[in-house]
Structure 1
Amino acid sequence: MNYDNIKKVIESCHLNFLIGSGASRPFLGTLGTIENLLTDLAKSSLTKENKTIIDASIKKHYWEVAIKGNLEINNKGNSKLDSTKEAYLDFYSSINTILNKRKSNLISKQVNIFTTNMDLFNEDALEEGGYTYNDGFSGRLNPYFGTENFNNSIRKTSSHFEYQSELPLFNLYKLHGSVNWLLSANEKIKYDNNLEILKGVNDVKIDAKNLLDIEYKKSTKGGDIWVSYTIDELKDQISKKKIRKVKEHADFLEAYDKLIMINPTKEKFETTTRKLTFYELLRMYSNNLEKENSVLFVFGFSFADEHIREITLRVSKANPTLLIVIFAFDKSSKETIFEELSEHDNIIYIYDESDKIKYSLETINKTYFKKLSKELINIKS
């Protein structure tokens, strides 16, 4: 599928995006094999003490790599942070222009952003760009979350003749929760503007000597990669390093568990069905893909999440008008995703066969969405 094909799709389809952790690189790391580790740990027959040590070490590693950086999102001077924020801002700028300028008046000026990321890069870019978005919260002084808040549209009425025009609207669905969500006393999800929960996790310090090494560097033909230790290897580390459970292990896990998010384990769907909010978000993901003439653009996402994968495949078979366009970071990523999804007529992979071009968010936007937005501006002018 070349640029011209994608251009036609964008101008005539309901737009949906599925964004994974790869989009927030280089500032935040990806999930890696954390899901497998936590799943294996839950099924293991280790002692309660060893489980606590390993659980705290895995989640502390995940915290440091993929979550903690959200506390710095308003800072400046970090080149990785700045480049990641700029990539998101450019992306939303391009999509906003496309929504305003594309030819069809029969399609809503809404775009659905589905993301498993708990970070704040999407919100930060939407705020910075001054774009109208719906994250499911309503209220000003005490915003509360509700999935019923997504079924809205925004229109602007002129001061003369009461002419109405629809404004572009970004619906932001955070499928696995967010670092700025907290559970209130009345069991409702409240907006955590000051990131108090995140700060609470950060305040718990664990001495490095009481933590296990979760990954190690391995040399391959394609270069060095990071590989996770197995649960048995982590158990051996406990013996070799003579680590004992300390109060900080439990304190960290208690603070971490206050984060309103789906933990990366293969059993998370059972958790999702018990929590109406997450169940409803997945249902809305499915419902939007079932609409006629819809397109789902995917980037930074590996489809290792079996429940999102199953929903996506089911809808792709049920809705022949749905097109799924997957931007794979590199050739290896494409092969990994293909193993998860296999071949389907309405699933398209975009990647560089020569492996010279890496499809980061910046590259994807520059090659497709930003290019189209500039064309539309020139046409309209």
Structure 2
Amino acid sequence: MECQGKEKVQAYKIVFKDDNTGNENTVKSQEENPNAEGKDKQSIVEKKRKPFLVPVDKENNTDDLCSIIRKFIFKGEENMIILTGAGSSILSKEQKLEAKEKGIKGGKTMSELLECVKCCLGIEKGKDTGEQQLNKERCCSKKKEKNSYRLPQQIMDLFNTDKNLEEILSIVTNYVKVNEQLSSATDEVEKCRKFIKEVKKLIKRECTLKYDKDVFKHGEFLSKILSVRSQKNERLKIFTANYDTLFEQAASKEKIIVIDGFSYTEPRSFEDSFFDYDFVVRDNVRKLAEPVLVDSVIHLYKLHGSIDWFYSREDDEANNSKGGHKDTNRIRVTKGGRNSNADTDDFVMIYPATAKFEQTFTHPFFELYSRFMAELKKKNTVLIVIGFSFGDEHIKNAIYNAMKQNRSLKLVIVDPCILDTKQKEGECENSNELASNFRFLENLYEHELSRVLLVQSTFADFVNILHGEDSST
């Protein structure tokens, strides 16, 4: 089968070579010490060695690249985990042209979201226009309001620095919290609180995307992966840090059943145990000792929440304690059934801020993150990371530790900027070094790095090479 898009894809392995230039890194490796005995024979040795990225097709022709990638992914795989970030929702130049003709928008990077916020504030990139106000008439919102309000000057000044949206939101949020603790309920504090709500609404709005199979690759991606995997494999599991519902919409178009932790009765409420349920062919259940599983079923775990998840306080009519009293403040997470005018406090989303690590340990995020940790420990697992920047330290550390502890875990990272790059007009100019957000991999032992494959590719181009032909051989 022809390997489409191969000219846009490159794959690398990280190797270490002895280097005497004085610029090398200290790398730990496990080697046999001839002067030691017993358990000490295998000892950890520190060497001065320099990391190099070696193309996997260096000694092969480009047609072999696709089969090399597919074999690495599928050979011996029993459990497949997909972890996606914003890169899976962001459109390439070609996709943007198609989307523009159809009036469809793609996902935004954090820097693009920051520009949207700046637009709302009337701040031009790199300089202050002097307007110094949140003017909703100029905001990227479809619904325009007439009123505007001023923000404290020290907050406005943050937008003229090199701070990203996550850092700015963290500072503003902490500013409000500190003043609340000091019982300093000033007008400025209230304006900052209102600003936070507006940014949350903006993020939710910009992440509300309409799926089109000619623009987005999510449906094709799911179908190709499922077509290759055997029923003997565990269910395909998608973990995503994205708020959008592109995977849900794509699965619906492809007639793929999604197990997402929510009940199938209304109102749809979250319960972690629903991930342990499955779909079987009922006619065969009574005849066969082992039931036949329904094809095309996936698990979807939204680590940072979703635009269609809401907190709901409901009376619990059931006796939920030995005393038999009714809990009138039980907080549930429900899906759908709420409009865009809902209060931002009801949105079940971990927003970009330093507090996101703390939120990970609250309901329902703790249950979702625990599932991710558990999957990484399973035998013969392959983790494919697509468009994820590794900005979340707890997720990055979980993957790093799993690579050290689970000797059968394979890691594939798909990103258009695997190599250290300089951004120029939205394009990547490559260097010969690993991009900074992936350099944590250089701390792995050499035998652990043999289970890592780095694929420089957009999500769309990666999907094009996933034919799966001869992948299991």
Q: TM-score, normalised by structure 1?
A: 0.69
Q: Distance in 1 between matches of 2:420 and 2:201?
A: 26
Instruction: Give how far 1:265 is off.
Output: 1.4
Residue 239 of structure 1: aligned partner: none
For residues 152-177 of structure 1, the C-alpha deviation after alignment (integer angstroms, 9 at most, x for no partner) is: 33322556994543234211000111
How far is the alpha carbon of 1:113 from its aligned partner?
0.3
Relative distance call for 1:195 and 1:83 in structure 2 (3 A) is: farther
For normalisation by structure 2, the TM-score amounts to 0.57
CA contact (8 A) 1:31 1:62 kept: no
The amino acid of 2:370's aligned partner reads R
Aligned residue number for residue 89 of structure 1? 219
Give 1:324's aligned residue.
Answer: 411
Check 1:151–1:363 CA distance in 2 against 1; reply closer, same or farther (3 A cut). same
Q: Deviations along 1:245-294, whole A, 9 cap, x unmatched?
A: xxxxxxxxxx2222111121122222222x13211211110100100110
How large is the Cα RMSD of the aligned pairs? 3.0
Q: Which residue of 1 aligns with 2:107?
A: 28
The match for 2:80 is 15
User: What does the per-residue CA deviation read over 1:216-255, in whole Å, with 9 as the maximum and x for residues that have no partner?
Assistant: xxxxxxxxxxxxxxxxxxxxxxxxxxxxxxxxxxxxxxx2
Name whichever structure is richer in helix by fraction.
Answer: 1
Say which of 450, 453, 458 aligns to 1:348. Answer: 453
Q: Which residue of 2 aligns with 1:212?
A: none
* Paired AA for residue 349 in structure 1: L
Per-residue deviation, 1:132: 1.6
Output one character per residue of 1:103-139: Cα deviation in whole Å (capped at 9) or x when no partner: xx6433x111000111110100111111122000113
Give the superposition deviation at 1:188: 4.2
Q: Secondary structure at the match of 1:265?
A: coil
- The size of the alignment, in residue pairs, is 298
Identity of aligned residues (%): 23
Question: 3-state SS of the aligned residue for 1:326?
Answer: strand
CA distance in 2, matches of 1:35, 1:171: 29
In structure 2, do the counterparts of structure 1 residues 82 and 129 end up closer, same or farther at CA, with 3 Å as the change threshold?
closer
Pick from 192, 205, 209: which aligns with 1:68?
A: 205
What is the identity, as a one-letter code, of the residue corresponding to 2:254?
G
Distance 1:177 1:71, change over 3 A: closer
- Structure 1 residue runs of 5 or longer lacking an equivalent are 75-80, 202-254, 352-358
Q: Counterparts of 2:363 and 2:285 in 1: how far apart (Å)?
A: 44
User: For structure 2, which runs of at least 5 residues remain unmatched after alignment?
Assistant: 1-55, 57-64, 92-105, 112-163, 315-329, 422-433
Relative to structure 1, the CA distance from residue 319 to residue 59 in structure 2 (aligned partners, 3 Å threshold; closer, same or farther) is: farther
> Which letter maps to 2:341?
G
Cα 1:150/1:36, change in 2 over 3 Å = same
2:200 touches 2:344 (CA, 8 Å); kept in 1?
Answer: no
Q: Does 1:260 align with 2:351?
A: no
Larger radius of gyration: 2
Residue in structure 2 matched with residue 166 of structure 1 by the alignment: 293
- Matched position secondary structure for 1:185: strand
Task: Report the Cα distance in structure 2 between the residues aligned to 1:53 and 1:340, rounded to whole angstroms.
Answer: 40
